[in-house]
Amino acid sequence: MFLSMFFAVAAIAVAQPVLELDYTKGTLPPNTVSVISQQFKDTYDHPKFVKDGKEYALFCGGKNQYGHFTIAGNWPFKANAPFTITCSFKSRGGWVTPVIYFRDSFYSKSGFTIMRSGPQLHLQIGKDYIISSDKQNPLQKNTRYFVTVSWDGKVWRMTVNGREFTGKKNPPFILPSAAVKLHVGGYNTRTNNVFEGTVRKVKIYDKALSMDEIYAILEKEIEELEAAK
């Protein structure tokens, strides 16, 4: 029995990220900067972190899809190398707002965007949404979602709350220039594309996670959320 318990534990070992942007402490993670849309820079009065149970979460947006988000340097992505990025968030609504933005420019062929557009989540590469979550299960406001995007060198995959989505096109992952920052909850400080919601954690893994690994991370996330209640 103990042996089987050991194997059970071994089977659900959670993969370790190479980078974690943890906003639950109420402080900015290392190498991360807080930015606010130009329009409201001087008048922005929302706290940058909000309490969610016992922990904090990054507060994004705040003024009609303008407002607060963060940018981070020192990202671990490598050219032609597989990766997985995960993000746990709650959305308050909005259209065409990036949850994660990592590319040279809005329609650049490099990098990717995890875009929230109305009721759906999309993986955008270049101009195209190459993977979209299903319409019959629209994102609900103010409830928790856990999104992952992975690139295994050939295929892009996206999961939303453990449901897997793939697309017909699989363009290559082109590494953005070194100056590009990893944007969490926004695109730039001039347009109104700031994500309206809160972000708990963003994690990057140096491999394309399997579904079992994603479920294990999701289980751990659920346990953490329960503990933080």
Partner 1 sequence: MKKILMLFLWSVFLIAVQGGDAICQGTFKLKSGVETSYRVYSHPRFLQFKIRCSEPAMDQLQCQGNIHDVSVWRGDSVELFIKPSKKGGTIAQFAISPNGSTYDALVQYLNRDANWSPVGIEVKTEKGKDFWSIDMKIPFGLLIGTLNEGDKKGCDSGSWSFNLVRNRRAGMREMISCAPADHWLEYQKYIKLKNVRAEYSVSRWNISGLKAGKVQKKGGQYTAVLEGTVDNMGDRMRLVTVHASLTDAKRSVLYRVSEEKLALAKGQMFRLQKTVEFPESGNYQLEIYVKDKQSLLSYHSVPVKLEFVPIKLSIVSGAFRGRELFASMPLKDLVFKVQTDHPVRAGDTCELLIRDAAKKVVVQKKVAAETALAKNISIKLPHRKPGIYSCEAKFSTPGLPVATTQLRIHSPVENEIYLAENGNFVRNGKEFFAIGGFGYVGKFLPPGYEKTGSYSVGYGPVRPPEKGKGAYSDGVKEYDSRYMPFPEPPELWTHPVSPAHAKRALRPIPPEAAKRIGEVISGWKGSNEIFGWYLADEPSETKCLPAYYDQISAICHEYDPYHMTFMTFQSSSAGELYGNACDVVIFDYFPGFHEKGKNHTLDYIVRMAEETAQGIGPGKSLISAPPLYAYVDNSTLMPRYATFDELRCMVYSSLTHDAVRGICWNDISRCGVSLDQYIGVQRISRNLKALEKFWLSRNLVKLNCSGKQASKLQWIAKKVNGKLYILLVNPSDDPLKIDLKLPADSGVLRELDSDKAQTLYAGRNNQLSFAPLQVRIFSADPAAPKLITVDQIRKSIRDFEEKELKSGNLCYYKRGAETIHSLVYVKDSKSFRFPANRRMVNDGLTTWLYNVRPFPKEDPEPFLGIKFKKAEKVSRIEVYWHSFDKKSPDASNLIFEGAGSDGKWKALSVTGCKTVRNGNVVQGVCKISPAEVKQIRIRFKVKNPLHLSVCEIKAFNN
Shorter beta-carbon distance to partner 1: residue 15 or 36: 15
Shorter beta-carbon distance to partner 1: residue 138 or 171: 138
Interface positions, 105-144, toward partner 1 (CB under 8 A): 134, 136-137, 140, 143-144
222 lies in the site for partner 1, by CB under 8 A: yes
Shorter beta-carbon distance to partner 1: residue 57 or 194: 57
User: What is the nearest approach in angstroms of partner 1 to the Cβ of residue 162?
Assistant: 4
207 lies in the site for partner 1, by CB under 8 A: no
User: What is the nearest approach in angstroms of partner 1 to the Cβ of residue 148?
Assistant: 12
User: What is the nearest approach in angstroms of partner 1 to the Cβ of residue 30?
Assistant: 28
* Residue 112, amino acid: F
From CA 188, how far away is CA 208, in angstroms rounded?
28
Per-residue contact track with partner 1, 147 to 176, x per CB under 8 A?
--------------xxx-------------
- The correct pick among 9, 16, 178, 226 for binding partner 1 (CB under 8 A) is 226
